């Protein structure tokens, strides 16, 4: 680990802390139960993403570097086949992990946490369809790959430690004080984050991961847009 940058690994839990704070504070401010504001998770995520991206740019600048160098982006290094392959892998492992976790924790296949596609005001859903996927990919890959994998010399720890926090953050998006939900969200993403961190450790090429990650978040954002724009759709999905 570079002594100058060794503090970066201590940033890995930061998204877990920020999300927990936002939802607890949000519930207190709005005088609602924390469960009742869970549908706002995608807006909270976009805000946190922007904060993390700005933080990463500040860290890179402070180290007389750049965000591109932080994540080891090299123009022209990536082939279309790599992007397609990783994108398909992200979709396949992501869906499989979610359904397997749903069966383990809830005994249901397929299972998906209903609050993840709960409706919000349509105009916000439209805007967030563009913002959420892009900011999530750059914030999370910058944090867990750039500040995690790239800063740890031991191969086992360089893969497992960032992957652990990469998966754990999802347990707080949204934050619900329900142990089964927390475990469900964590094990839904752990297989995928382990694979992504392993792939990045070997290839040091973030672009296929960023694109694949953005695609799966586009799908989520579009589902939120659909439930927000079509009256009764969310209730119909939840009843299925």
pLDDT number for residue 108? 87
Residue 63 lies in a domain: yes
| Residue 175 banded pLDDT, cuts 50, 70, 90 | very high
Residue 80 lies in a domain: yes
pLDDT greater than 50 at residue 32: yes
In 3D space, the residue among 104, 81, 100 whose CA is nearest the CA of residue 92 turns out to be: 100
pLDDT number for residue 5? 66
Domain ranges, residue 217: 6-239
Residue 54 lies in a domain: yes
pLDDT number for residue 205? 94
Are 214 and 91 in contact, with CB atoms under 8 Å apart? no
pLDDT number for residue 236? 84
pLDDT number for residue 1? 47
Residue 1 lies in a domain: no
pLDDT greater than 70 at residue 149: yes
pLDDT number for residue 152? 93
Mean pLDDT computed over every residue of the chain: 93
Are 62 and 76 in contact, with CB atoms under 8 Å apart? no
**pTM for the full model?**
0.93
pLDDT number for residue 235? 87
Peptide bond into 110 cis (omega under 30): yes
| Residue 85 banded pLDDT, cuts 50, 70, 90 | very high
Residue 192 lies in a domain: yes
Residue 73 lies in a domain: yes
| Domain total in the chain | 1
Instruction: Give dist(CA 189, CA 174) in Å, integer.
Output: 14
Residue 65 lies in a domain: yes
């Amino acid at each position: 680990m570079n002594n100058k940058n060794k503090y970066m690994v201590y940033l890995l839990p930061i998204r877990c802390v920020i999300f927990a704070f936002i939802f607890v504070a949000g519930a207190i401010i709005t005088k609602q139960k924390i469960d009742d504001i869970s549908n706002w998770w995608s807006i909270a995520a976009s805000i946190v993403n922007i904060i993390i991206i700005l933080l990463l740019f500040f860290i890179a600048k402070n180290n007389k570097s750049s965000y591109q160098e932080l994540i080891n982006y090299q123009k022209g290094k990536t082939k279309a086949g790599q992007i397609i392959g990783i994108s398909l892998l992200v979709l396949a492992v992501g869906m499989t992990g979610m359904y397997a976790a749903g069966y383990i924790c809830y005994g249901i296949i397929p299972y998906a946490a209903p609050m993840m596609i709960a409706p919000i005001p349509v105009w916000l859903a439209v805007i967030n369809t563009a913002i959420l996927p892009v900011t999530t990919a750059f914030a999370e890959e910058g944090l867990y790959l750039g500040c995690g994998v790239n800063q740890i010399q031991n191969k086992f720890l360089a893969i497992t430690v960032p992957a652990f926090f990469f998966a754990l953050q999802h347990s707080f998006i949204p934050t619900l004080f329900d142990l089964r939900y927390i475990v469900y969200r964590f094990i839904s993403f752990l297989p995928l984050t382990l694979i992504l961190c392993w792939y990045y450790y070997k290839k040091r090429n973030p672009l296929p991961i960023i694109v694949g990650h953005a695609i799966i978040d586009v799908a989520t954002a579009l589902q939120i847009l659909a439930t927000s724009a079509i009256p009764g759709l969310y209730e119909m999905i939840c009843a299925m």
